[in-house]
Amino acid sequence: MAWYRNDKAAVAEALRRGERPDLATTMASGPLDELVAFHEELGIFAIVEELEVQRARAGVADELLLRTLATLPFVEQASLSGASELLFREPAVLLQLGWAPVQIRQGSNGRHRHPDGRQEESLPCHPDTLRDALGRVGESAWRHAQAAGVQSLYQRQLVRGKVYAIDGSGLGDDFRLVALVCVSASRPIIVAWRLLSGQASEKGKEAAVSRALIEQVLQVAGPQAISLRLSDALYADGPRFSWLKYGKGIDALVSLPQDRLLYQDLQGLANGRLIDWSHHRYVRTIAGHKQLREVEVTAAGDLCSWDGKTLAAASYGVSDASLWACLIRDVTTAELAAELPRALVSTRRFADGFAARPRLSSTLAH
């Protein structure tokens, strides 16, 4: 780069001798090019470039490395080295990210030289250079960038609907990814997430961060952004219900564990024929495959056998807090019909149990 920038006379002389300048162009436009252009339009790269970086020495510009890192998730490789190897085969994309032709051909620095010359896997830079750049960004900086990036999605109305779900996925034995996902549209959109490690990554511990995720979205999207939050039985917690309902105006629909008193009360009402079962048949799609399913459902409202919910609601000045719950029994086969019915509990009163069922089954249940 110094040769091009500082020795223009030598460049002109080389051109007169017929030497071609380093070029890396293509007329092709694939999904990767489009994703890069889309994120450029959204302002994601500009946000990434503003990340606070703890650098100890000079080297390749942080902005360039961060833009490259932000592109790696678009490549179908899970590892950083594998993704960078595929990305480095796309010179047109590298140009779009800001790499100069001479960097693409000869490398950006002297790091990771090989006796036989610069190797293809380290052009324009070695994957370790990207890995080091990633390690220089602190957790708080990533969270700030996350919120700013998601805000651009809301500003362009790319996140639509007010039904959200909390999902926690284990990543090996040491990590857990907890995400808040908008599930109103046909395709879910992750709008806030945290990577937990150590003891915080243990199953069940992710409930502690769900509040922070919801507050983050309400801050960038507005206080009315979420109307219903779906989650599994780990989040069947009275104080959390009350915080959502009376503190934020958000209803919750949660799987109800069978060992809860509310489940036993609901089952007692059904066994005593104090509430009626209704039969439904429908087609569901899982991983692109359609399945015929038959269920029986029953529901009841004004349930109060949850002391944690009642006591927590009182702290918000609500003295008559109650819950709605339903039982869902899969009768597609005799074997499934013999199992205990599944239960859902909600701070919202649905018309019947079947009205609540699709909201959960399409996102978390399967």
- Nearest alpha-carbon partner for 34 in 101, 78, 92: 92
Confidence (pLDDT) at 26 = 47
Pairing of strands 189-197, 342-346: unpaired
Task: Give me the residue label for tokens 């039904």.
Answer: 163
Residue 295 phi, psi dihedral angles, 5° rounding: -135, 155
Task: Provide the percentage of residues in the chain whose pLDDT is more than 70.
Answer: 82
The 10s digit of each residue's pLDDT in 66-109 is 999 999 999 888 889 899 988 988 888 998 898 888 888 877 65
12-53: pLDDT as tens digits: 776 677 665 554 444 456 788 889 999 999 999 999 988 888
pTM over 0.85? The answer is no
Closest CA to 178 of 150, 208, 156: 208
DSSP secondary structure string for all residues of 292-321 = EEEEEEEEEEEE---HHHHHHHHTTT-SS-
What sign results for the dihedral spanned by CA atoms 314, 316, 317, 318?
negative
Rounded to whole angstroms, the Cα distance separating 141 from 107 reads 29
- pLDDT attached to residue 366: 36
Distance, in Å, from the CA atom of 263 to the CA atom of 207, rounded to the nearest integer, reads 21
The whole-number pLDDT of residue 121 equals 58
| Segments of the chain scoring below 70 in pLDDT | 1-8, 10-11, 14-15, 18-29, 56-58, 108-122, 199-207, 307, 311, 356-366
DSSP string, 14-52: HHHTTPPPP----S---HHHHHHHHHHHHTHHHHHHT--
Would you kindly state where each structural domain of the chain is located, as residue ranges? 2-137, 255-366
**pLDDT score for 362:** 44
Q: Find out whether 137 and 73 touch, Cβ atoms under 8 Å.
A: no
- Best CA proximity match to 137, nearest among 213, 62, 36: 62
d(C-alpha 21, C-alpha 30), whole Å: 26
Residue 128 tokens read as 């370790």
At 188, list the tokens: 């879910």
